[in-house]
Structure 1
C-alpha cells in the first residue's frame, strides 16, 4: 500500500463544498477489535458502519483522509445495477441466482437512499439518470435493454426517450435518444462519504486517518495490522483499498486495473440558463465505450467528466482539454469558464463485474466496481457484514464469478491497455 499520509483532498469542487471538516487522529497505540477495516473510502466506511450497527468493535485505518481517493472525487453518478452486462453472471450461476444479482443491483440504490435519509446526510441526492445514445445501433440496444429488463426481471422503470424529446433532459443535438432510469441519480460523493463516516463513528466505529498500513500478518490465530505508530489485532480484516491495495495482497491487486478519469466544474450559470441546459436535472452518460458523463450541480454549474485513460497520465492542460470535450456537446457554453479541474483513479476488472471474496477465511475484500462504486460499495459493505455474522450466501454469489489477472504483469499491462483503449476510441469514432 502506498504511503499517502498527510495528503489533502484533491482541489476539486467537492473539496471546496465539503460540509464536514472532521479529522480523525492517527493510530498511536496497540489496540484490539473484532474487525479491522483497511481503507476509509465508501467500501471501507460502508463495511464499518454495517459492522458497528451489528455490534462489532471496528477500527478503520486510512493512509490519508476519509474519502481521499475515488470515493471523494468521482463523477457522483449513482447507477443501478453493475458495470458488467447482466449475462456476465449467467456464465457462472443459474437463472434464479442471476435474478438475485439483478435484485441486489437495485438494492444498491435503496441502500444509498436509506442511508441518506436515516443519517441526515447532506449530499445533494438527486434522482434521475439518462443513458444517451450516440449512434443508431446504441439507440436500438437501449430499447432492447428496456424490453429485456421488463420481460426477464419485471422491471418497468426504464423509459426510452425519443430524439424529439431529448431536450427535456439535455439541450444538445448530439444524441439520438436515451434510456431514462428514475431510480438512479447523482450526489456529492465526498459529502456522502463524510456523512457515512460520521454515522459509523456515531455507531461506535473508530477511524484513524494518516495511518498507512505497512504490514498484515497472522499471529496465533489473530490478524495483526501494523502501521508506523501502532498495531491493530483483529479477528477479521476487510481490505477496502481498491487501486491502492499494492503489495498488501498482490494476488488480488493483479485482478484490477487503475483507470484515470477526470472532471471539471464550470463557473456557475445563471438559473435560467442552467434550467434550459438540463431541464430534468438528471445525470447523463453517453453510450460510447470511452464515454462522457455530466450533471448539474446545486449551484448551477455543469460537472463534466470523461477523458478516461489507462495510461495513468493526466491529459495535458486538463481543464482546457476537458472544456473542449464539453463544447462538442454544449457549443453554447463557449463563453463559460472552468473553475475546477481534477481527476483520480477508479478500479476496473477484466469483465467489469465486482470482485468480492476472501483472501483467507477471515480476511475479506471488495474491489473492481468499474465505475459503479457510488452505490455498489454500499452493497459490498452490507454483504461483508452479513458474511462475518455467518450469513454469507449473498456474498458468496459474487465468489462464483471468475476474475482473471490483467495481462502483461506489472511492467506491460498498462501499455497493453493503452493500445486497447486506442482501439475502442477508434470504434467510437466509426
Structure 2
C-alpha cells in the first residue's frame, strides 16, 4: 500500500483520500508513513499516522507523552534550530504550563460584552454578504470575507486592512499551492498608514517564483511589522475590542501579555483563525448540497441548522492533521513508539471512524458523536464558539435566499496536505 499519497499535496487537489484512510483504519490504525522530498523540501524521517477516533483523542489529551512543543505541530520539521525556536513561541506549539498561562489570559479577554457584540455584528455581516449575491457567483469568495470581518473586529483592525489577513493566511497555509503562495490582493491605495508600512516590507518571489519560507519569522516580515505596530497602539490607546482587553489585562501575579506574545497571537488568529473557517464555509456548503433532500429539510426546518453545522464540520474537516512528538517510549493501539518519533493525528480519518459515526460518508444533520474538528484536550480550539456562530449566521442567510442552490461548475481545491481548502466554488440559484 503506497502511503505517499497521504503526504503528497497533489492528492488533495482531487479530494481527501477517504477510501485509503478507511482501509488503514481497519488494518493499521497507527501506521508508519515515510516522508518523501516534496517541492524542493528535503525528505523527512517519517511519522506515525494515528487514524482512529479513540487514539486521536488519547494523543491530544496526553501532552506529557505527546508534546506540541518538542517538534512543533506541522508534519514537516522546521528547517533550522532557530526556526524551531521561533515556532515554539506560539501558543499552538506550547505545552502546559506555558500554554495554560497564555490561554488563560486570552480566554479572559473574550468578555461577555465583547462576545455579545461580536455575535450581533456577525449576523449582520453574513446577511450583508449574502444580500450582495446576484445570480451565479463564487461562494468561496463570498464566504472569505466573513472571517476577515470577524477577526478585524476581534483585533480592532481597520476594516480596509482586513485583506492583509487574507494574503497572510494564503501564504502560510497555501505555501504548497502556486496561486496562494504569492498572494498579494491587498491594495496599498485603499489601506491605512499602518498597512502601507507593512506592505513596504512584504517579500517578493525570487527568480524561480518562490517566496521565503512563511513558517519562519523572516518569511513574514509584513505580518510582524503590522502586529508590532498594532500591539503598541492597543497598549497605548485601548479600544473596546478583544485584543485591547488582552493587552490591558493584568493577572493576580501582575503578569500580562508581552508585545512578543501579542505578535505571535496575532499570527495565530490572522492565519489559523481565518483559514479554517474560510474553508469550512464553502466545504460546509458542499456537504449540505451532497444530499438534496437533507438540504431541503434544513431549509424548511431551521431548528436542524445547529446539527447541520456540526455535521458540516465533521464531514468536511478543514484541518486534516496535526503533529505531536513522543516525549518517551510508549505504546499506542498496540504499536510501539519511540521517544522523539513524530506522531500525527489525522482528523479527516477520525471524523469518519465507523466505530463512532455509522455510515460515515453520509451527511446526516441528526448524527450523534463527538467530532474532533476543533481538537480535544488542552489545545481545544479557542475559536470554536466564534466559528460556530459564523457558520450558523452564514447558512441561515443562505437558506433564506429564494429558490434552490446548486453547484454550477468545477470545485477548485487547495493544493495542501494540511488544510482541506476550497479556492473556488461556483454556485447558482434556480
Instruction: Tell me the TM-score normalized by structure 1.
Output: 0.23
Of Structure 1 and Structure 2, the greater helix share is in 2
In the superposition, the TM-score normalised over structure 2's length comes to: 0.23
Flag the structure with higher strand content.
1
